[in-house]
Amino acid sequence: MRRAIATVIRVTGLCNARYSPGDRVTVNLDKVCIDKNESDNLCIFALGAILANMSRIRMNEKTLASCPDPATGLGGNVIFSIEKEQDSSEYTRGTE
């Protein structure tokens, strides 16, 4: 399975989605959907930043994304580390 994983690395202020460092959002790139079993809370505002930055990297690369909340009022700003990876055990076709 090819997937992209966005992991929370920093939270400033109080995030309304209650993200904390280590929380993850996992996107199954083969099915083009959020993997609910592998993900924590999903903030629809942060999702836009995650998807935009996820589309700009290649497999086995990393990038950072910031949710659009500037954390100047009651909200909080969250920084994600995004990485694309592929489970090589599922892609052995042609190597036999």
Domain range annotation of the chain? 2-86
Residue 49: DSSP 8-state:
H
* 95: confidence class by pLDDT, cuts 50, 70, 90: very low
pLDDT at 88 over 80: no
Burial classification of residue 31, based on how many CB atoms lie within 10 Å of its CB (0-12 exposed, 13-18 middle, 19 or more buried): exposed
78's tokens: 């969250």
Residue whose C-alpha is closest to residue 27's, from 83, 77, 90, 91: 83
Q: Are the CB atoms for 35 and 64 separated by under 8 Å?
A: no
Give 36-69 pLDDT, tens digit per residue: 999 999 998 899 999 999 988 999 999 999 998 8
Residue 89: DSSP 8-state:
G
Give 14-24 pLDDT, tens digit per residue: 888 899 999 99
The pTM is what? 0.83
